[in-house]
Amino acid sequence: MVITVPATSANLGPGFDCLGLSLNFRNRFEIVPALETKVVVRGEGAERLRADESNLFVKIFREVLRDLGSKEKHFHFKFFNQIPISRGLGSSSAMIVGAISGAYAIAGKKLDRGAILNHAIKYEKHPDNIAPATFGGFVISMLEKNKVFYLKQTLPKDIKAVVVVPDKPMNTKYSRSLLPKEYSVKDCVFNISHASFLSGIFMSGKWEFLNLASKDMLHQDRRMATFPILKEVRKFALSHGALMSTLSGSGSSIFNLCFADDKAGLAKKLSERFREFRVLALDFDNLGVLKQG
């Protein structure tokens, strides 16, 4: 049995902890019943991830399997990762959603995406990545009394993503520690209005307003101050065809959205300008977590 989960980009500028979308760039998790437990990790982060029963995927998978009333069994886990680790592209959310979905499938349960999402919030405090990882598309999510409420919008084929992935990771916990404990009313109103307007754009397709709506006063500049070249990446992208350019999650990747006809040109220019960084030209994903077999 195979579970695949897409990469995600969250916040999208002003949508701190509540807006996210899904990218067609997947991690693949294969789970096969076996006589003894074995873990094999290949691809992105293979040298950093534990290849034993202490692996986060395996631990969550077993916990959820017990929650669903299934007996303890041995499995052979094979992980094929594409999503870069600690780059703000939802690698941990992919692992969490994949582990929970795998447990549901092995337990013979229907892949109830709403149940999977609300199970995932136990392991991930904020729903902005786990929601699009589960559902695909552009997702607005809200946490109320430990339950996630969400709205999904399918993303059209005439827009694409170009993601710049630096060679330097950015730890999410450290990145969040850079943020102030309190914000001014002015900054909060700025972000509420821009996040609301940005959500409306994704629902209506008024892409010409993306750059304006994706401005932020809460987190991006503070986080990018530790890695100043990211501001240069954002400025360059906006001047060469990007409709919006934002820090992806807590970083260090920069997410750019453009029209489909501009994807190849924007990716080429970014690759030439920032040769030390990896540039991914991607389609959006509207499917979210998937089960095969």
Q: What is the CATH number of the domain that holds 17?
A: 3.30.230.10
The predicted pLDDT at position 22 comes to 98
| 62 and 36 inside one domain | yes
**172 pLDDT band (50/70/90 cuts)?**
confident
Q: Positive or negative, the Cα torsion across 53, 54, 56, 61?
A: positive
Angstrom distance (rounded) from CA 86 to CA 226: 15
Rounded to an integer, what is the distance from CA 243 to the centroid of its chain? Answer: 20
Strands 290-292 and 2-10: antiparallel
Q: How far is CA 257 from the centre of its chain?
A: 15
Q: What pLDDT does residue 52 have? A: 80
- Domain identity same for 136 and 163: no
* 21, two tokens: 């979308």
Q: In this structure, are 98 and 10 located in the same domain?
A: yes
Cα–Cα distance measured from residue 29 to residue 77, given in angstroms and rounded to the nearest whole number: 7
The reported pLDDT for the residue numbered 104 is 96
- Number of domain units in the chain: 2
For CA atoms 250, 255, 257, 260, the dihedral sign is: negative
pLDDT of residue 262: 98
Q: In the predicted model, what is the mean pLDDT of residues 145-171?
A: 95
> Cα–Cα–Cα angle for 146, 72, 109, nearest 5°?
55
Distance from C-alpha of 65 to C-alpha of 15, rounded to nearest angstrom = 33
* Section 6-30 average pLDDT: 97
The two tokens of residue 91 are 């690698």
Q: Strand ranges (DSSP E) for the chain? A: 2-10, 19-33, 38-43, 75-81, 138-144, 147-153, 159-165, 244-247, 254-259, 278-282, 290-292
Per-residue pLDDT, 245: 98
Report the range of poorest mean pLDDT among 1-5, 54-58, 270-274: 54-58
Domain that holds residue 32: 2-154+286-292
Clarify whether residues 133 and 211 are in a common domain: no
Q: What's the CATH code of the domain at 278? A: 3.30.70.890
User: Per-residue pLDDT for 177 more than 90?
Assistant: no
CA–CA separation, 272 and 261 (whole Å): 19
Determine which of 44-48, 94-98, 114-118 has the lowest per-residue pLDDT on average. Answer: 44-48
Closest listed residue to residue 222, CA positions, set 175, 171, 165, 170? 175
Token pair, residue 42, equals 């290949």
Q: Which two structure tokens, joined as six digits, stand for 252?
A: 């260090």
The per-residue pLDDT for 176 is 85
Least confident of 17-21, 120-124, 167-171: 167-171
Q: How far, in Å, CA of 14 to CA of 18, rounded?
A: 9
Is residue 248 located within the same domain as residue 186? yes
Helix (H) or strand (E) holding 175: helix 172-177
Give mean pLDDT, residues 16-29: 97
220 in the same domain as 142: no
How much is the pLDDT for 4? Answer: 98
User: Per-residue pLDDT for 72 more than 80?
Assistant: no
Find the range with the poorest average confidence among 26-40, 166-180, 188-202, 224-238. 166-180
Region 61-70: mean pLDDT is 93
Is the N-terminal amide bond of 184 cis, ω within 30° of 0?
A: no
Strand partners, 138: 21, 153
Residues 150 and 6 in one domain: yes
Q: What pLDDT sits at residue 178?
A: 87
Helix segments in 24-112, DSSP class H:
56-67, 91-106
Reported as a pLDDT band with limits 50, 70 and 90, residue 37 is: very high
pLDDT score at 170? 83
Q: Which helix (H) or strand (E) holds 160?
A: strand 159-165
Predicted confidence band at 54 (pLDDT cuts at 50, 70, 90)? confident
Residue 93, both tokens: 């959310």
**Shared-domain flag, residues 10 and 125:** yes
Whole-Å CA distances, 56 to 11, 179, 186: 24, 27, 40
Same domain as 143, residue 97: yes
**For residue 49, which amino acid is it?**
L
Cα angle for residues 253, 257, 261 (degrees, 5° grid) = 130
My answer on whether 170 and 147 are in the same domain is: no
**pLDDT (mean) for 227-242:** 97
Region 252-260: mean pLDDT is: 98
pLDDT band (50, 70, 90) for residue 17:
very high
Domain shared by 150 and 120, yes or no:
yes
Considering the domain architecture, whether residues 186 and 142 belong to the same structural domain is answered as no
